[in-house]
Structure 1
Amino acid sequence: MAGSTARPRRRADAERNIARIVSAARAQLRSNPNATTDDIAQAAGVGRMTLYGHFRTRADLVEAALMDALRAGEETLASVDLAGDAREALTRLLESSWELVAESAALLTAAEGVLPAGRVRELHGEPDRRMAELIRRGREQGAFRLDLPPAWLVGVVHYILHGAAGEVREGRLAAHDAADVVIKSIQSVLSDR
């Protein structure tokens, strides 16, 4: 028998509603970072009361959508081969990272608009740790610069990825050129040569 302090499990229909709402939020916010909770509820096929029963505020819903996107992205990034030469591993990681950032650029915009300062970056903890480890290894191999702090270099990578997504969104960078621009920019920042 479970202890009296155990949290009751949600009903299966509540779990399905949450999954539909989060999925609809990801889709709606990807196409329009200003999508309303009404837009999302309608896309999920639920009423506003159901949506607000699970997510008290739009910010809570946006954070749940971003966390869901990051979990899915983590599955992709965790499968990237980072062995061998750090520069080559960086290219592989950036190719996968760029695809994820480009796919979720509007979702990131929505999150940055409603979440507290630093929360978006905080939610990127695992991708940041992966990049920090790759930079550390690249520095040991003599491939990446030693004159700047590793945390700064991870931040620069983060800003270049998200900045490029903004440039594509604003039409100042062609989507088909973005991956190459991102990879070359980050490699030039990290390079010791």
Structure 2
Amino acid sequence: MNPPPSPPAPRRRADAAANRARIVQAAREAVAESGDIALNAVAKQAGVGQGTLYRHFPTREDLLAEVYRQEVDELVAAAPALLIEYEPAEALARWFDRVADYARVKRGVLAAVEVAVWRDLTTHSLGPIGDAVTTLLEAGRADGSLRPDVDARDVILLIGYLSRLDDAEWDTRARHLLDVVLDGLRPRT
């Protein structure tokens, strides 16, 4: 005899879902701007009370983990979407623009959470991000706009330097260095 099916997960009310989305967006902006996140400031920016914030995210780490997961999900989803709209090399260039934004948030999140939390977050994001890079590289290899001898691991290692940039030089260097990487991914003439 089979056990009875589990009841479906409760649906969030529309206002609760909207509150959650505003909280995550406010936290994302706080992390991207300063790398620091004060929960009372996030609640205020999101237009919710402290109780509402804590109902959705019992700890600071829970909130930061959700910000990070959403960043990864959006970054991964961007790769195939960009390939629909742009040629592979241009799609990769635009994806790198998104990588710069992602890396800034990632750096802020990882600086704010305990080591065990950030290890878990990064372990679970490498596979999907590698898959997104592979999708872009394969499309570029197929049309000849990207080198055939580069794989996703190469690209991930190259863009990993973003974590070493100082805040003071982020705006002037991050996208420039991604352009340098992109130039290195194009076939030699």
- The counterpart of 1:106, out of the listed 104, 107, 120, is 104
- The counterpart of 2:130, out of the listed 128, 133, 137, is 128
Deviation at 1:191, TM superposition (A): 6.3
Q: Partners in 1 of 2:167 and 2:93 — Cα distance?
A: 18
User: Does the Cα contact within 8 Å between 2:22 and 2:46 map onto a contact in 1?
Assistant: yes
* 1:117 partner SS: helix
- The counterpart of 2:148, out of the listed 132, 137, 144, is 144
Higher helix share: 2
- The counterpart of 2:172, out of the listed 171, 174, 184, is 174
* 1:79 partner SS: helix
- Superposed CA offset, 1:105-145 (max 9, x none): 33111222223315235225333113234546749x79333
- Paired amino acid for 2:90: R
User: Does the Cα contact within 8 Å between 1:24 and 1:40 map onto a contact in 2?
Assistant: yes
Name which of structure 1's ranges 92-101 and 165-174 shifts more when overlaid on structure 2: 165-174
- Structure 1 190/66 Cα, relative in aligned 2: closer, same or farther at 3 Å? same
Aligned position for 2:181: 185
- Structure 1 173/166 Cα, relative in aligned 2: closer, same or farther at 3 Å? farther
- Structure 1 116/51 Cα, relative in aligned 2: closer, same or farther at 3 Å? same
TM-score, normalized by length of structure 2?
0.73
User: Please, which runs of 5 or more residues in structure 1 have no aligned partner?
Assistant: 83-87
User: Does the Cα contact within 8 Å between 1:168 and 1:174 map onto a contact in 2?
Assistant: no
TM-score, normalized by length of structure 1?
0.71
Deviation at 1:166, TM superposition (A): 4.6
Deviation at 1:188, TM superposition (A): 3.3
- Paired amino acid for 2:81: S
Deviation at 1:101, TM superposition (A): 2.3
How many residues were matched structurally? Answer: 179
- Structure 1 40/172 Cα, relative in aligned 2: closer, same or farther at 3 Å? closer
Structure 1 consecutive aligned stretches of length 4 or more whose deviation exceeds 6 Å: 189-193
**Pairwise CA RMSD of aligned residues?**
3.5
User: Does the Cα contact within 8 Å between 1:105 and 1:166 map onto a contact in 2?
Assistant: no
* Percent sequence identity over aligned pairs: 23
Q: Partners in 1 of 2:132 and 2:101 — Cα distance?
A: 20
Deviation at 1:103, TM superposition (A): 2.4
